[in-house]
Amino acid sequence: MSRQPSESRPERMTTLARLPVFFALTGKRVVLAGGSHAAAWKTELISAAGARVDVYAGEFSDEMRAVAADAPDGEIVLIERGWTPTDIAGAAMAIGAFEDDGEAAAFADAARAAGVPVNVIDKPSFCDFSFGAIVNRSPLVIGISTDGAAPVFAQAIRAKLEALLPNGFAHWAAAASRWRDKVKATGLSFAARRKFWQMFTVHAMTNAEASPSEADFDRFVADVRGLGAAVDSGTVTLVGAGPGDPELLTLRAVRALQSADVILFDDLVSRGVLDFARREARKLLVGKTGFGPSCKQDDINALMVSLAKQGKRVVRLKGGDPLIFGRAGEELDACEAAGIKAEVVPGITAAQGAAASLGLSLTDRKHSRRLQYITGHAKSGALPDDIDWRALADPVTTTAIYMPVRTLETLVMRALAEGLDPETPAAAIARATRPDQQVIRSTIGELNARLDDAKLPGPVLVMLGRTLQARDAVTCRAAVMA
């Protein structure tokens, strides 16, 4: 049975407790009522964003006076009296620090009457907006909010992000700001400018602590110009989505997904993987499931080439590794015949993912000195007639059988007749690495009957070899010791 490619609509945005926005405050006036320590911190924050801060209070804490004397950026003016509604008029925002709810309500009402967004520190019921925890690599800025539910949790997340993001990102983000107009002035086409920023991003990510220089700018421009007309052509990238767990994606795969214009994906690709894609990218399901309705390979090739010829960056997203039983050769041939540039981003293949989830070494000096991957069906859907049965029966080999379900009974019967020990340890792993992974352990002689009873959901991988028994023995010894 065949079917046509169908577009997968992006999931609707789920409910947001707060809309994250970033105010441009340089040169604008912000009113702040209160002179406490908490008010001083907000004053410093607003000044750092470039605003002039008019602070109204009957008295000021030492912290407030110290911040005003050494403003981070925008001027801080201390006005030693209480605020009035006329003070708020024309301000970009109003911030209050009050212990008394009555004062807080009056301040919030006055700000809203003046059409000014208002925040009252630690009193969310009087706030139009809130301040989150901040990771500052300005002009790269990350805000974190828990809608006031767990500020300590937000700070813990901030600390993790601080550790992950090199301080040098600030220099690269600043360079991007300086170079944006320069890139436009080069006369490069839209596609070439996009390529410039891709090169910029890759270099910045791998050289975060290096200081960006004009030589970097010149080199990126030269490299883009060196691509010639090819830069305006579309590309195809075959990306391995791994066995299912989105966290097993490679960094290069994530970058490809985040820069794609169109993503052609199979049914077997976990939807969690698609969450890494650029939201604006078109996502087309070109379903290829074993023995189910599938798009014809020739149709997929034609669509992939057609989109690339339109100048699109096409990602062909395939379960596992595209180079292992993923028809990558046919798709690369189609691109080459059409003169389309294509590259491959390898992924973790199903056997590796399944072995890792089972805590199993695919090779072992005592039990397995060879590893082989075979497919359970040929192009016709039947059992391949050219399987090396002697290799399959080799007692020091670990074998992973891909797409085995329909032909497993015939395969096992033939392998046993060719010398495979029926007591060879085996396992069938369904939906490897995913939360709903299921595993059936057996001997290879009994596995097919167990599979018939279990009716596992696809995709299913079968593994056999002495390493499975060795791992079971280790696990049992560990359990006894515990």
Mind telling me the catalytic residues? 266, 288
Q: Residue 208 region, left (φ>0) first, then alpha (ψ -120 to 50), else beta? A: alpha
Counting other chains too, the contacts that 139-142 makes at CB distance below 8 Å and 24 or more residues apart are 139/170, 139/173, 139/174, 139/176, 139/177, 140/165, 140/169, 140/170, 140/173, 141/22
Residue 347 tokens read as 């992924």
Residue type, 263: I
Backbone phi and psi for residue 54, each to the nearest 5 degrees, phi listed first = -95, 115
CA distance linking residue 57 with residue 43, whole number of Å:
13
- Look at the alpha carbons of 18, 24, 26, 31 in this order and tell me if their dihedral is positive or negative: negative
Cβ neighbour number for residue 142 with a 10 Å cutoff: 16
Residue type, 389: W
DSSP 364: B
DSSP state string for 145-169: --TTS-HHHHHHHHHHHHHHS-TTH
CA distance linking residue 438 with residue 426, whole number of Å:
14
| Cβ-based neighbours of 216, under 8 Å, separated by 6 or more | 175, 203
> Measured between alpha carbons, how far is residue 278 from residues 88, 141, 275, 318 in Å?
41, 20, 8, 17
Residue type, 30: V
Whether the Cβ atoms of residue 78 and residue 26 lie closer than 8 Å to each other: no
Show the beta-strand stretches assigned E in 129-240: 133-137, 140-144, 235-240
